[in-house]
Amino acid sequence: MANLKTAEKKTKAQSMGMHTEVLTGKTQQKFFNPDEAENFFYWGTHNVDFNKRTELDVKDLDCKQANEKIDILMSEGYGTIVIKNPQGKHSLGVGILNKLNLIFEGSLGYFGVGSIDGPIVTVKGRVGWSCAENMMAGKVVIEKNAGSCFGAAIRGGDLICKGSVGARTGIDQKGGSIIIGGDAGAFTGFMMQRGRIVILGDVGINLGDSMYDGTIYVGGKIGSFGSDAVEAPMTKNDIDWLTRKLKVAEIGNNVDLSKMTKVVAGKKLWNYDALEPTEKKGAI
Amino acid sequence: MCGIAGLIHRGKSSNVGEELQNMLQALKHRGPDSTGYALYANNDGKNFILRFKVGENVGEGSTSVNEDESVYDERKKLVDKKLSELGATIMKEEKLTPYSYRYEIQYGKDLMWFSEAIESIESVEILSIGKSLELIKDLGDATAVSERYGLNKVQGTHGIGHARMATESGVDIKSAHPFWGYPFADVSVVHNGQLTNYWNNRRVLENKGMRFMSECDSELIAVFLAEKMRNGATLEEGMRESLTGLDGVFTYFVATKDSLGMAKDTMAAKPLVLYESDDLVAMGSEEIAIRSILPQEIDTYDPFDGEVKVWQI
């Protein structure tokens, strides 16, 4: 196999085996051979040291300048970066693909920490629309409220908001966990495909509308169920999982988990439901 | 995509002109075509403030037809003549641009009849009538419009504003926000979104005697609320009816001489960030608008779907 660091762009995918399709009744892609790990290069990642800490004041920087500064700091090995004065700027902390302890001392605007894969993020303020969109892995904790489309299309990781969130939380969610300490708006879990959403407070109308799969837990009142969303019985596994996750999220200590409402997809999706769990992962 | 912003000081006045300018300038990327302000100023309340235009700004990317400035002067003379016929007395007049004027007038009769008479003159549009409302809109960003009309020294209690990206109608002043709540003094509206039952509602409202000046869907909100208030509804009642009466996606603000309100559609499809304290409410399409006047760390939130709120000064 060619060295991916030096390979031509058009041959990289072939070299990684990503062009190969394996037919097992359903179509799956073969993504990566672990035996060739030494050749694997995850572009844009840095080796950082959590004990190496620095601060970055972004008051007079635009989002592009701020993100470039963060990237430079990571390339210098800083593993704990404290962002001062974010002041609601958009698109801060996006596209971070390595482990990092990233702390925002203030609020973010739209699309904050989107498309991340691994960092632990703390926002000591509020976030605007589409926070952590397309998140792959890591943990994001919002200390205050969040706007709409919170965790849109996330595929993994834990996304936690200790306050309330807007409409369409977890829209198109494909994995991971979204945990809300307060209330959530309309169309929460809209077209959700996998993963879990936990709302300790109330939730608005059309909960889980058009959801394929996944699970939503609600502690408070539900405005209405969306099309395809139905209530399911809480099991011991659900309570065990909620206990573990809420402990990680550091919220919901006083919630009676057995009284939460569990919501799942009630619609039969013929081809999708016939897939094995591992095949579903490839399909979405 | 447009940007809207609003603020209300409760129990005091402030430099609302400069504050709203800063908020709207922070939202320039959402709407670079035109900017509008509805400022509720500390006027003495004795006279009506009449703001009107006799033509369009034909520069700065305007889609309006070019006209010779001499026709503006002719139209202005016709307005003066009509005011005299209506029994209105001009106490003070200011020419702000070749195409727009601010008059202080004394008038004590029906405003709808008055407005119809003034707007019967070709290409003349009343931007606002009120005892405290100063409605200014023109092409350009917030700073350009503010400097053109000297707004950054306006003291008042509250205001709403709009940075417009033209989508449903042309780049011109008549399609710019805010819209005056014709024929009610001191009522103004700004909107972010698209209304999909504009023409159906417009036909119904025109049959009831309401007037539309543009083909901008947002104007429907002002007319819709004005018609409800004309039939005895309070502002908040009218706003709540708009959640089902208007179809589409919207977040809008409405202001009167002593109040400021917001409404968000039942899909919550358009953004709004809100800051509320005992003495100030500030809100905008994005948090950066609020941060432009409150840079310190504050608690803000997104109102939920179908939410209506009204604050008093």
Instruction: Output the domain CATH number for residue B182.
Output: 3.60.20.10
Mutate: best of A148, A169, A188, partner B, most B CBs <10 A: A148
Tell me: the pLDDT tens digits for A181-204? 999 999 999 999 999 999 999 999
Percent of chain B whose pLDDT exceeds 90: 79
Distance from CA of A145 to the nearest CA of B (A): 6
Residue B216 among the catalytic residues? no
Partners of B14 in the beta sheet? B156
Token pair for B311: 């604050």
Q: Which of A107, A165, A167 sits opposite B287 (nearest CB)?
A: A107
Distance of CA A170 to the CA centre of its chain: 9
- Contact list, A110 vs chain B (CB under 8 Å): 271, 286
Question: Does the structure show a pLDDT above 50 at B271?
Answer: yes
Question: Does the structure show a pLDDT above 50 at A70?
Answer: yes
Q: Which of B286, B290, B302 sits opposite A148 (nearest CB)?
A: B302
Q: What is the domain partition of chain A in residue ranges?
A: 1-41, 145-284
Among A148, A193, A223, A190, which residue's Cα sits nearest to residue B249? A148
Which range is least confidently modeled, A19-23, A137-141, A234-238, B181-185? Answer: A19-23
Give the confidence band of A249 by pLDDT, cuts at 50, 70, 90. Answer: very high
Mean pLDDT of A222-231: 95
Amino acid at A104: F
Question: Does the structure show a pLDDT above 70 at A17?
Answer: no
Give the confidence band of A13 by pLDDT, cuts at 50, 70, 90. Answer: low
What's the pLDDT score for residue A23? 47
Among A161, A88, A123, which residue's Cα sits nearest to residue B275? A88
Q: Which of A109, A167, A183 sits opposite B288 (nearest CB)?
A: A109
What's the pLDDT score for residue B181? 86
Nearest CA in chain A to B288: A88
Domain A145-284 CATH (choose: 2.60.40.10, 2.160.20.60, 3.90.550.10, 3.30.1490.20): 2.160.20.60
Nearest CA in chain B to A89: B288
What's the pLDDT score for residue B58? 77
Which range is least confidently modeled, A29-38, A87-96, A123-132? Answer: A29-38
Nearest CA in chain A to B268: A167
In which domain, by residue range, is B276 found? 3-312
Percent of chain A whose pLDDT exceeds 70: 81
Average pLDDT of chain A, as a whole number: 88
What's the pLDDT score for residue B280? 96
Tell me: the pLDDT tens digits for B281-312? 999 999 999 999 998 888 999 999 999 999 99
Mutate: best of B23, B305, B307, partner A, most A CBs <10 A: B305
B293 touches chain A (CB under 8 A): no
- Contact list, A106 vs chain B (CB under 8 Å): 297
Which range is least confidently modeled, A66-75, B75-84, B213-222? Answer: B213-222
Tell me: the pLDDT tens digits for B93-149? 999 999 999 999 999 988 888 999 999 999 999 999 999 999 999 999 999 999 999
B152 touches chain A (CB under 8 A): no
Tell me: the pLDDT tens digits for B211-255? 888 888 888 999 999 899 889 999 999 999 999 999 999 999 999
SS3 annotation, chain B: CCEEEEEEECCCCECHHHHHHHHHHHCHHHCCCEEEEEEEECCCCCCEEEEEECCCCCCCCCCCCCCCHHHHHHHHHHHHHHHHHHCCEEEEEEEEECCEEEEEEECCCCHHHHHHHHHCCCCCEEEEEECCEEEEEEECCHHHHHHHHCCCCCCEEEEEEEEECCCCCCCCCCCCCCEECCCCCCCEEEEEEEECCHHHHHHHHHHCCCCCCCCCCCHHHHHHHHHHHHCCCCHHHHHHHHHHHCCEEEEEEEEECCEEEEEECCCCCCCCEEEECCCEEEEECCHHHHHCCCCCCCCCECCCCCCEEEEEC
Among A103, A168, A107, which residue's Cα sits nearest to residue A133? A168
Number of domains in chain B: 1
Distance of alpha carbon B281 from alpha carbon B204, whole angstroms: 35
Contact B286 A110 (CB under 8 A): yes
Please answer whether residues A184 and A165 qualify as being in contact, where contact means their C-beta atoms are separated by less than 8 angstroms.
Answer: yes
Distance of alpha carbon B188 from alpha carbon B145, whole angstroms: 18
Question: Does the structure show a pLDDT above 50 at A2?
Answer: no
